[in-house]
Amino acid sequence: DIQMTQSPSSLSASVGDRVTITCRASQSIDSYLNWYQQKPGKAPKLLIYAASSLQSGVPSRFSGSGSGTDFTLTISSLLPEDFATYYCQQSYSSLSMYTFGQGTKLEIK
Amino acid sequence: QLQLQESGPGLVKPSETLSLTCTVSGGSISSSSYYWGWIRQPPGKGLEWIGGIYYTGNTYNNPSLKSRVTISVDTSKNQFSLRLSSVTAADTAVYYCASLQTYASGSYKYYMDVWGKGTTVTVSS
């Protein structure tokens, strides 16, 4: 299995801050890395696919980068609606073996 | 605009079979660009991939769930379904269905672009 490890597991930040979340794969996954946002009681929402491609309708303050084993999700200037849990997910392996990171909870400071 | 909706019993007894259906609207389940998948999330925990199916019936299931998982598709109803047998309390979770879009034509890699709202399933006697 490809293990996905996110850091930090939780993060406190203020509105207007620039925030970076990291995701590390246990082996190279090229650029087959996706990011999702989940708010309490809601389904996850796709933000970024293929490591850096912004999903249609997602604000440009969200960006992704990386390839191989190390990836980052950056929010350039936090808005109140951005406080949520973020998950990375790899699509490199067979469709039977897709895996998610454990999540990063972004909280208001 | 593609929409997905899960349905099924909210309570299942231990050792029985969990059965859920995902109804797809706003698009055809027979699209060549999509797989269709199931994901679950135990209370207070992260996301777990269960498996996916193509409209032809080709399936990929998470081996961690061994042979307990069956995913099927009904193209005439634009639906796909999940059956999870021999459930225990550890199978208590919110279950989501999702569409899996291919990265590019000819690619066999997918990302989950549209999700259902999720349905809570509790395993308890």
Per-residue pLDDT reduced to its tens digit, A1-14: 999 999 999 999 99
Instruction: Report d(CA B30, CA B52) in Å as an integer.
Output: 14
Contact B112 A50 (CB under 8 A): no
A81 within 8 A of A42, measured Cβ to Cβ:
no
Determine the pLDDT at residue B107: 83
CB contact under 8 A, A43 and B110: no
Determine contact, residues B13/B35, Cβ cutoff 8 Å.
no
* A residues 26..85 contacting B (CB < 8 A): 32, 34, 36, 42-46, 49-50, 55
A97–chain B nearest CA distance, Å? 6
- Written in H, E and C, the secondary structure of B8-66 is CCCEECCCCCEEEEEEEECCCCCCCCEEEEEEEECCCCCCEEEEEECCCCCEEECHHHH
pLDDT at position B25 is 98
Neighboring chain B residues of A94 at a CB cutoff of 8 Å = 60
Q: pLDDT tens across A93-103, in order?
A: 999 999 999 99
Which pLDDT belongs to residue A58? 98
Nearest to B111 among A46, A97, A100 (CB): A46
Cis amide prior to A8 (ω within 30 degrees): yes
d(CA B71, CA B52): 7
> Model confidence over A75-95: pLDDT tens digits?
999 999 999 999 999 999 999
CA B113 – CA A8 distance, rounded (Å): 25
Distance between B29 CA and the closest CA of chain A, angstroms: 18
Percent of chain B with pLDDT over 70: 100
Identify the closest residue of chain A to B115 by CA–CA distance: A43
Query: Are the Cβ atoms of A92 and B109 closer than 8 angstroms?
Result: yes
| Contact between chains at B110 and A94 (C-beta distance less than 8 A) | no
Q: Which residues of A touch B61 (CB under 8 A)?
A: 96
Closest chain A C-alpha to B75 CA, distance in angstroms? 21
The CA distance from A45 to B125, in Å, is 33
Nearest to A26 by CA among A4, A11, A45: A4
Q: What are B48-78's pLDDT values in tens digits? A: 999 999 999 999 999 999 799 999 999 999 9
Residue A96: which of B60, B96, B116 has the nearest Cβ? B60
